[in-house]
Amino acid sequence: MHKENRELIQTLMECAQSCDHCAVACLDEQDVKMMARCIKLDMDCAAICSEAARLLSRGAEIAGKYLQMCADMCKMCGDECEAHKHMEHCIECAESCRKCEKACRNYK
């Protein structure tokens, strides 16, 4: 399972890393309170993407259903990050989330 899903696993891990980076960068913004939802969604998305990669790596039966939830989480996080167009880290995170969402929805 690991070899045939290598590209998706890589996409999931890249998204998790991008979300982690975005959350930390949001904490450094001047108005952290304004970024609270973004930070929470970043943390949730990173956790779900990481777990999805682990499930795929070991060929878990639940992986397909979990990837659908992961796609939904990536959409939520991407939507939130896109609302912060003036922040480079949010733009990069949104792009990563969109790519991951698409990959998860295309999983067979």
Produce one character per residue of 4-36: b if its CB has 16 or more CB atoms within 10 Å, e if not.
Answer: ebeebbebbbebbebbbbbbebbeebeeeeebe
Residue 1 has what pLDDT?
55
Which ranges constitute the DSSP H helices of the chain? 6-27, 36-57, 63-82, 88-105
Q: Flag residues of the chain having pLDDT under 50.
A: none
- For position 108, what pLDDT does the model report? 77
Q: What is the pTM of this model?
A: 0.94
